[in-house]
Amino acid sequence: MFNRLIEKSRAKSPWIYHVNSGSCNGCDIELVALLGPRYDCERLGIKLAGSPRHADIVVVTGPITSQSKDRVLRVLSQVPEPKVVVSLGSCPMSCNVFKGSYSVEGPLDKWTHVDVSVGGCAPKPEAIIDGLIKAIEILKEKRGLNNV
Amino acid sequence: MSKFPFAGEALKSLFKAPLTEKYPLTPKESPEKYRGKIKFDANACIGCGLCIRVCSPNAITKLVDTVEEGQNITMKFDLGSCTFCGYCADFCHQNAIELTQEYSMVVTDKNDMIVSGSFIKKLPQKKPVPQKKATESK
C-alpha cells in the first residue's frame, strides 16, 4: 500500500531533463518559458531536474550533431526506466534544414525510441504543454497506472 | 514608507489575479498571422512545383502517377521537417497553400505529421498529326 502511494505521487510529478543536441536555442527558449511564471508547468507537477538520473521525461532539442551524439546517448542511458523521450521541434524529427550535413547524425529516432514528437519551429509553449501532457499519459501507461 | 519602497506594489499585487495562463483548461488562440499547420487545397494546385524550389528543408515532395485521364499528382508536406517560414504560401500563385493558426502538433508517430493532397492533372489532348501526302505533290 505504501509502495502504491509512492507510485501515485511519482506519476503526479514527472521531472524533465532537457538535452540540447546542437539546437539553435529557439526550442530551448520556448521550453524555459514553460518553467517561468507565465506558463508555469509546475502546476502540472513538471519540474526541471538537474541530473538525468532524477528524470522521468527527457526532452531533446536540436538535430543530433556528431559532437553531441555520444553525449546524448550517454544521457539517455542514464535515465532510469520507465522513461519517456520527447523530441521538441522539427530538428530531432528530421534534422530540418541541416539534413544531409556532414556534421549531423540523422534524426533522433535513428538512435532511440521517441515516444512523443512536438512539431513546430519553434513550437509554441502551449504546444509543448500539450506534448508534455501526452508524455505524462504515456509514462503512466508504462508504469501500469492507467486507472489512477 | 521610504524604508519599504515596494510595499505599495506588493500590497496591490496581493489582490491581483495570478499572471499564469490556465492553458490546458482554457484554450488559447494564436496571434494573428501566426504560421502554424499547413492547409493544402489540392483542387487549386496546378503542380508547378515552385513551392518545392523555395522550400529550404526540402519538406515538400511531389509524386506523379500516370493514369488514364492524365497525371495523378500528390503533394506531400512533411511538417516534421518544416520551418514554417511561409515561403511556399507566398510563392504559390494559386493560393493553394495556407498556413493556419493551428499550433498544437503533437504526435506519437512521425507519419502523422504529413499533410498531403492529390489531384488529377489533365494532359493536353494530342492533335492528330497531319499526314503528309507524298503522292499528291507529284
Could you tell me which chain A residue has the CA closest to the CA of B84? A121
Could you read off the pLDDT of A78-98 as tens digits, one per residue?
A: 999 888 999 998 999 988 899
- In the predicted model, is pLDDT for residue B6 greater than 90? no
Could you tell me which chain A residue has the CA closest to the CA of B107? A117
| Domain-located, residue B133 | no
Per-residue burial over A123-136, b if 16 or more Cβ lie within 10 Å, else e, is bbbbbbbbbbbbbb
Is there a contact between A38 and B19 if contact means CB atoms under 8 Å apart? yes
- Specify the CATH number for the domain of residue B90: 3.30.70.3270
Could you read off the pLDDT of B66-110 as tens digits, one per residue?
A: 888 888 999 999 998 899 999 999 999 999 999 999 888 898 988
Q: Which candidate from A38, A39, A93 shows the least CB-CB separation from B81?
A: A93
| Domain-located, residue B91 | yes
- pLDDT for A12 equals 84
From chain A, the residues in CB contact with B99 under 8 A are none
| Domain-located, residue B81 | yes
- What burial class does residue A102 get, using C-beta atoms within 10 Å of its C-beta: 0-12 exposed, 13-18 middle, 19+ buried? exposed
Query: Of residues B9 and A144, which shows the higher confidence score?
Result: B9
Catalogue all structural domains in chain A, each as residue range(s) with its CATH number.
Answer: 2-143 (3.40.50.12280)
Ordered alpha helix ranges (H), A48-123: 66-78, 91-94
From chain B, the residues in CB contact with A126 under 8 A are 23, 28, 103-104
| Domain-located, residue B98 | yes
Show the cell assigned to B31: 496571434
Is there a contact between A127 and B24 if contact means CB atoms under 8 Å apart? no
The confidence band for A15, taking pLDDT boundaries of 50, 70 and 90, is very high
| Domain-located, residue B69 | yes
Look at chain B and report how many structural domains it folds into: 1
Residues in chain B: 138
Distance CA A132, CA A86 (A): 8
Angle at B38 between CA B34 and CA B41, to 5 degrees: 125
Is there a contact between A99 and B81 if contact means CB atoms under 8 Å apart? yes
Full residue range of the structural domain in which residue B63 is found = 38-104+114-122
Could you read off the pLDDT of B10-62 as tens digits, one per residue?
A: 899 899 988 888 888 888 888 988 999 999 998 999 888 899 999 999 999 99
| Domain-located, residue B47 | yes
Is residue B66 within 8 A of residue B123, CB to CB? The reply is no
Is there a contact between B104 and A127 if contact means CB atoms under 8 Å apart? yes
From chain B, the residues in CB contact with A132 under 8 A are none
Is there a contact between B104 and A37 if contact means CB atoms under 8 Å apart? no
Distance CA B55, CA A23 (A): 20
Q: How far is A114 from chain B (nearest CA, A)?
A: 8
From chain A, the residues in CB contact with B28 under 8 A are 126
| Domain-located, residue B59 | yes
Is there a contact between B83 and A40 if contact means CB atoms under 8 Å apart? no
From chain A, the residues in CB contact with B105 under 8 A are 118-120, 123, 127
Query: What letter does residue B80 receive in the DSSP assignment?
Result: G
Query: Of residues B133 and A41, which shows the higher confidence score?
Result: A41
- Average pLDDT value for chain A: 89
| Domain-located, residue B23 | no
State yes or no: ipTM above 0.85: no
- pLDDT for A85 equals 93
